[in-house]
Structure 1
Amino acid sequence: MKGADVPVRLLLVEDSENDAMLLLRELRRGGYEPVYERVYTPEEMERALGDAAVRGEPFEVVISDYYMPRFRAPDALELLRGLGYDVPFIVVSGKIGEDAAVGIMKAGANDYLTKENMARLCPAIARELKEAGVRRERTRAEEALARSEIRFRRLVEQAADAMFVHDLAGNLVDVNHQACESLGYSREELLGMTVADVEVGIPPEAFRGLWDHLSSGAPLTLEGVHRRKDGTTFPVEVRVGVFESGEQMLYLGLARDVTERREAERKVREAEDRYRTLVEQIPAVTYVQRPTGDKRVTYVSPQVESVLGYPADRELLDGDHWINIMHPDDRERVLAEDRRTDQTGEPFRSEYRQFARDGRMVWIRDEAVLVRDGEGNPLYWQGIQYDITDGKLAEEGLRRSEERYRTFIAQSTEGIWCFEFEVPLPTDLSDDEQLDHLYRHAYLAECNDTMARMYGFGSASEIVGARIRDLLPRSEPQNVEFLRAATLAGYRITDGETRELDRDGNARVIVNNLTGIVEDGHVVRVWGTQRDVTEQKEAEDQLIRLASFPELNPNPIIETSVAGEPTYLNPVAQAHFPDLRSLGAGHPALANLEEANQRVWSSGGRPFVREVEVGGRFYQQTVSRTPESGFLRIYGVDVTKRRRAEDALRESEERFRSLVQNASDIIIVLDGDGTIVYESPAVERVLGYTQEERIGVGAFDLIHPEDRARVAEVFSEHRDRPGPFPTVEYRV
């Protein structure tokens, strides 16, 4: 490790200050700059861990001696894990028995080093810090995935469209609440059915061709007929796509009931017949025009011939005819208004001059409205043209027209707005200068309530006056690029996407259309419409993560009422607890549900962990409440192996402790400096000292002065060598 020292927050469980200094020196030699605290009792260790957590500077690694007067490494490890800290635990100690070394590693220690061999310390710390970081990232990723799954499942269940997921054979594997509502089946009933049981408008033999087409990855939009449980049917429009779940290809269908739309279309056809009879009797030209695409005129009344001299079929055959006979000075202005109303859905209204077949110039007042179905989808433009050559309509007619315009704005399902400038914006400025001008001087002068609600306000009056910088933060690159594109396009943008903030600071995804009004080389205002597509974006992002996580989880997951009535068991839970549904609250896995519910409530909804025994196996359960239903969700982990290992370790430690305590010989454990860290009870019988009097004393202090140097030489010579010490005789 080279370069600047790496800081590391270290908790030293060590009763010897000398050993602690040696260990810290080794860390500094290895390129670390330890920020540490030394403890050697359980109380000190628990306090140090808690204080570090409160400071927001938790320890990154714990290094513990094995033997201390009141504390041992296994106890420190058990305390650390019992408090819920996932921190690397490394034992650095003098010589201990092989059983003890194996035992501490099995108990969960990350590494074991002897104080005689500290060369591995820094590499071990580097490795464990890296692995701890990986574990933290994995935990964060898993928590984020769980949250996203919950959000997506909630979105799916609240969707207005019925959702069906099925396999290649057509077997339904998942449905949402709307699917059950629309068909009258329970979720369990639908999951035992096939697509052919629900869809009766498409012949079964045609499904294979549809699946083959979907395998290419391209989605399909189909029209079909669904059959309810009571046998009645209704028309649907289905959007079908394919996605991969694990190693299985699944198909997702979103079905929308189009009964009302079909009925509306039928009524439109009937109305057209009545309309045709009526309009051909009024003294004006009426027409019907497609709302999108080539915008071809699909109907024009015969009166067009009396006004302009052209037969009605001329308009139907030549979609550009009305533009070609328009006065050149009016053409661009009228076309701009046509494009604007196409974008906004506002009524089209314009006055312009056209040349009649005999060369006469005729003034036309053209008005059209966009007719929508019951769901707000555009059907067609319906227009009327008046010959106003001999005079303009009365002022009252203009006032009514303005009133209709205002009503449309107020009732529009899209946000409609107008930004104006404190100082008009010169169009000859550079792009960057125009951007600066927009952010300094543009403010919201007018909007409808629909737009205000998109930002969390109750009415337009609450948001009018807001600066453009408040709604389109300049820190968001997408907003800057949107406004830059507007300047480059002459302030005419269609379906431009921005990232905006509502009144609470929440991000919203908005799709905008805008048209700038230029007077004398200055932009004086910008009109536009917008749609909030935040939920749509989120739905698209989450679709590929269809809520299959609980089904694939290797651990048992249970959802149950407080009364012990299970509402959901994933496959693993069903395998581990086959009799859970029949036993209910009497099953050991659902023990003390009322107490568990009270505990979750009293903690403000935070989950807690408990342990239960079922059939001789131990399960660690994380208990929480589902926000949608209020049921208890129990996530279990089988910890039987760990429990048995802990029991075996305790038995092994007891046997070792009994052996040492009852040995007739004096058993001594020394640290690297020859200081006594443990001495068996036999010392009192042989030498008359208590164990407490000997701990921390130099091992050579009681050796006869004539033997002391010889014994110390043997100790120094063999201290760092592997294997047993040679036998040495001396006097005390």
Structure 2
Amino acid sequence: MGEKSSLKINKPQPLRALIVDDSENDALLIIRELKKGGYNPSYERVETATAMKKALKANPWDIILCDYKMPNFNAPSAIALLKKTNIDIPLIIVSGSIGEETAVECMRLGAQDYVMKSRLSRLCPAIARELEEVKTRNKQKQAEEELRQSEEKYRTIIENIQEGYFEIDLAGNFTFFNDSTCRCLGYSKKELIGMNYKKYTDKENANKLFKAYNKTYTTGTTSRLLEYEIIKKDGTKRQLEGFVSLQKDSSGNPLAFRGTVRDITERKQAEKTLKDSEERYRALFDRSLDIIYTIDFDGNFIDANPTALKRFGYTKKELPSINVASLMDKDQLQYALKVIQEIKKYGVQKDLLEIMLRHKDGTPIYIETKGSAVMSGGKAIAIQSIARDITERKAAEQKLLQSEKYFKEITENSSDIIIITDKNGDIKYCSRSMERFSGYTPEELIGKSGFTFIHPDDLERAVSDYSKAISSNDTAIPNGFRMIHKDGTERYLEGLGKNLLDNPDVAGFIMNVHDATESKKAEEKLKESEKKYRIITEKMTDIVWLLDMNLRTIYVTPSVQTVLGFTQEERMSQTIDQQLTPDSLNIALETMAKELALQEQEQRDNQRNVILELEYYHKDGSTRWIETIMSGLRNDQGILDRIHGVSRDVTARRKAEEKLLQTLESLRKAFGVTMQVMVAAIEMRDPYTAGHQVRATDIARAIATEMGLSPEKIDGIRMAGAIHDIGKLSIPAEILSKPTKLTDIEFSLIKEHAHSGYEMLENVESPWPLAEIIYQHHERINGTGYPRNLKGDEILIEARILAVADVVEAMASHRPYRASLGIEAALGEIEKNKGILYDVDVAETCMRLFREKKYQLS
């Protein structure tokens, strides 16, 4: 048992044989027969189930040759054991005596053949046949596996795409579809299989589908994008769009239809909602210089303004076929989809998104965009975004990065030498270029005194200059000296030294030195750089100019003619008062005077610049508003001798801003008139307190002004105060005008006016929280107010102010059921309960107004 052998003959065919036989002699006879048949067998003989199981696990086998009957094992058991392992190895029964019925039964159980030991000449041909069949089966299994993987891949794609995919026969009955199709139609797979398209469409849409299928069948071409309406299982109607194409058999004959479908109901609803409101903002939408667009939550474009279409390179007609995926690279798309889901979930986009899109022609476009959900019936149905094209800015940033990279490369590969020493002059660092100039590697120099390498004739001056330099305060000191090269020759270096011993990032004296010859080359490079700068300046659209200290133009770019109509020569012949309108001239002169005074200070900022918008004369007699950035330029001695400016035409922007301000003022006036009407309506209902709202508002505004609140908040207090009792419109007039004390029930009705006022105004669009101020004006700091028992900072500052003003006016004014209590009684109430019922700052401000600043009730 467990025996193994391996013999070789000329060009034998290897054969791994597992022999299941209790006779070693019989096994050797089999091996001999195998060798005679042209095989070179390696084998193992086993005679029990355990041994066979172990052998199958330990080694791969080409053939199993099994005796029918052994003392502890038999062929049927061996066949069963092999099946259990699920290994495809042909098994041939090799037995001394076996009846035909037994042999047939073994083959039925799974044996491939049987051979009598007395006729072993049949063994090798039987093995050859079975090995060939194994090869055939393996090839077939491989082909079947490849087909299965292909089908699985296809099915996975179909089942995971968002769009519905379906196949129908020529009569219009479903034969295949994915889960998305089921979701679109609302039926289960079991219900949908075999269903005809007429089952889920009305007559009109069924006819539309029939025409599309018929055209596809007739022409053999894919249909154009088809939109139609279906009726889901639950009776709801949905809008779908999709394509349909023709399936053909191997002979080219029509076999079936297949197509894709996508639910566009939300998109259609969004289109309708947006269409209903389009007139209100279409002018702004169409004329905006910003990119404005609307998409559904699948990223399909619903609308876009002309600026967006122009920047993206598409026409209005192409818009419905555009998805954000067609405008973005894959990595950008993943991030954009996350933002879409964020808006869908929260209604707004948290952070400004900077992203790269692709123009229709492939050109990259960079935008900054921020979106919010478009709501309909309380449900988010789309996303509207406003974006700004920052392509030019990104290009400028890229140029800056390239420039930084360029200068970094110059620094790292510069022939200049950078040396850092400690206060004693010992070298802490030197750049690699030092080796080229001195012959010493940085490793040889670091830790040694820099004075060691100075020429003896320059050493005294170098030591003296270094002592002065390290005593200075961060001052750049020019110097030049000779040094001794490693080979004994002299080299003349010059450069600057700067004291950074107190700078923790450097903690040393830094020197930048270079060969004099290289310095000359650097000067030439500087001239070339200045030439390039001048070329760039000459070509730019902004106006770049220089003034001397007498405010005469000594240089201006040719763009002055494009912007203001004057040639360079004409401009440089003009005085400053010929360039600016009188008001702008005064502003410019006052600003320059202030800046010149600042520049004379010891702690001046030499990098300071000023931005002004000034009105300039155009050559045609009109004026232009110009945004100008000005800064001072100094000569080599540090004296301010020129003024530099960059100017840009902002006339169009100014006009747009003025128009917007006019519109806002008109709206403000209209809102004020509305408030007056509402105040009159309230006072008609409650004549006994007529004038109360106006007087309380005056007190509240005075308190807010004294507290230093912003003009916007003061305006909000004015608006809210004027109508803070608007809720009394919902209270019966007989209760409001009752001259006697109110009952508990009547007073509870009166207390509802704060909540009623809130409900009246909660949906009114306003730049101020009017509804909330009115809702809170009877709340108290300690939570004892009504209607919500708010406390402390839960109450708006406007409401806290109005609460104090309301109490003071009410107590100080006459009522039908009592005489005025007087202003001192009112102030006493405020003083007594400040910090309890009333805000401390508001209460103290109110008392200060009346007692110190002698404020009088109107």
Q: Do the two structures share a fold, i.e. TM-score over 0.5?
A: no
Which entry has the higher C-alpha Rg, 1 or 2? 2
> Which of 1 and 2 has higher RCO (CA within 8 Å, sep 6+)?
1
Q: Could you tell me the TM-score, scaled by structure 1's length?
A: 0.37
Q: Could you tell me the TM-score, scaled by structure 2's length?
A: 0.32
Point out the structure with the larger strand share. 1
